[in-house]
A = this chain, B = another copy of it.
Amino acid sequence: MRKAVGIGLLGLGTVGSGVAEALIAKSDSLAEQAGLRLVLKKVLVRHLHKRRPGKISQRLLTARAEEVLYHPEVDIVVELVGGEHPAKEYIENAIAAGKHVVTANKEVIAKHSYELFSLAKKHNVSIRYEASVGSGIPLVSPFQHDLAANRILAIRAILNGTTNYILTRMALEGRNFASTLKQAQELGYAEADPANDIEGIDAAYKLVILSNLAFGTRFAPEDVYCEGIGNIAARDFMYAHEFGYAIKLLAIAKRDDDKVEMRVHPVFIPKDFQLAKVDGVYNAIEVETDLAGKLLFYGEGAGGLRASSAVLADVLAIARNIRAGVNSVPELKLNPAITVKPMSEVKTRYYLRLNAPDRPGVLAQISRVLGDNSISIASVIQKESDPATQTAIIVIMTYPAQEKAMQKALRELRRLPEVNEISSFIRVEES
């Protein structure tokens, strides 16, 4: 019987260091869990001679990927370099060389899962990616195993800690987006280039990964309607509060027969909903199912230590299989009947904040435009008339309407002389 499994690590950044340190520090308990020893054989780094804290031996390091990918004693390649290229090629080469692969790479899995899983199947190796969504929160495995008997009806999730941190601070402190982002950057909760986070792209990658697991689809990031949080103003939180809502950036995938809507955008969500109570850098994933009802998985969605929990769970699963002499190649259960529901067909309620001249008849005109597009108003508040500029703020909550109708109404409202500006437009999620 095998006594050890060889691990090759690609990348020694935050997550890579966490994994390497844990492999060393937890060597005994991991061996007990796996039934054989997990031995780090080679580590790809960018700068070979950079000073590094921790216990990792200099002789394990290499700047050449091939020395990891084709190392004869490496059974499992752990890809933690991130980004699309060359990570994807590393994974392909590892698979082709007969290595099992563990990756935390959301971009590669969101964009290329199908071809990589097919390649893994062909070469009879495993590919696992628990850390690619929600970091240490178990998600991939629950979808593959624990929820296997369920039909997944919907996923609603806070998948990006940076934006949830910013929205939480804005809600608590009444500050605007720009200054809150700046503060988040100073505190290390947002990156210097925060576009991927605040525009919802990061969340969209993760939503694609979860949707493909949940619905047996082959969706891609471009299938997700995506809108960031940059346009939310401090006063939107005020009105949200008044109406009984929190504002969150949600990633939503909802099944309606054989169509799945996929979208990432800010939402108004009722304050007493569990997702509305998730604050700060935390992630939370709500899964609505036919048997298990609504489940919520909650935890920190980022950080090297957090991700190392998921990476090592994947490594352990493969090691246990190696020990048992069985192979768990990815199952490609595609449900080709399921397609993406176009955003124009999505139906929600809407929150609208408009700036309008403070004079009679304005509300009548706005109501007429909405009515002409079959959009009913649930409530309307006219606020804060400014005598100096003679403008008023009008806040509207609609009943559920189709996105197509709403977008047409918005175009018409913008053309209306009675409307100075549509200052804010946020969808409502209340199921």
User: How far is B312's CA from A300's CA once the two chains are assembled, in angstroms?
Assistant: 29
Q: A413 → chain B, closest Cβ, in Å?
A: 38
User: How far is B272's CA from A142's CA once the two chains are assembled, in angstroms?
Assistant: 28
Binary interface encoding of chain A residues 315-330 relative to chain B, with 1 for a CB under 8 A from any of its CBs, else 0: 1110000001010000
User: How far is B309's CA from A295's CA once the two chains are assembled, in angstroms?
Assistant: 12
User: How far is B324's CA from A278's CA once the two chains are assembled, in angstroms?
Assistant: 41
A residues contacting B by CB (< 8 A) are 18, 22, 26, 29-30, 32-33, 130, 135-138, 141-142, 145-151, 272, 274, 277-279, 289-300, 303, 305-306, 308-310, 312-313, 315-317, 324, 326, 333
- Residues in B whose Cβ lies below 8 Å from that of A315: 149
Contact, CB under 8 Å: A147 / B138: yes
Contact, CB under 8 Å: A295 / B297: yes
User: How many copies are assembled?
Assistant: 2
Contacts A147-B313, A294-B299, A313-B148; is A138 near B138 (CB within 8 Å)? Answer: yes
Q: A271 → chain B, closest Cβ, in Å?
A: 11
Contacts A138-B146, A274-B277, A316-B149; is A300 near B294 (CB within 8 Å)? Answer: yes
Contact, CB under 8 Å: B148 / A138: no
- Residues in B whose Cβ lies below 8 Å from that of A146: 130, 138, 141-142, 309-310, 313
Interchain residue pairs A-B with the least CB separation, the first 8: A136-B292, A149-B312, A138-B146, A292-B309, A291-B309, A296-B298, A295-B299, A293-B300
User: How far is B276's CA from A279's CA once the two chains are assembled, in angstroms?
Assistant: 14
- Residues in B whose Cβ lies below 8 Å from that of A312: 148-149, 291
Contacts A32-B333, A289-B309; is A136 near B299 (CB within 8 Å)? Answer: no
- Residues in B whose Cβ lies below 8 Å from that of A130: 146
- Residues in B whose Cβ lies below 8 Å from that of A279: 272
Q: A33-B333, A146-B309, A289-B309 are in contact. List 12 more A-B contacts (CB 8 A).
A: A33-B148, A136-B293, A137-B292, A141-B142, A274-B298, A290-B305, A291-B308, A291-B312, A293-B303, A295-B297, A297-B297, A297-B298
Residue from the list B147, B298, B317 in contact with A298, Cβ < 8 A: B298
- Residues in B whose Cβ lies below 8 Å from that of A317: 145
Residue from the list B135, B150, B298 in contact with A309, Cβ < 8 A: B150
The residue in chain B whose Cβ has the minimal distance to the Cβ of A32 is B333
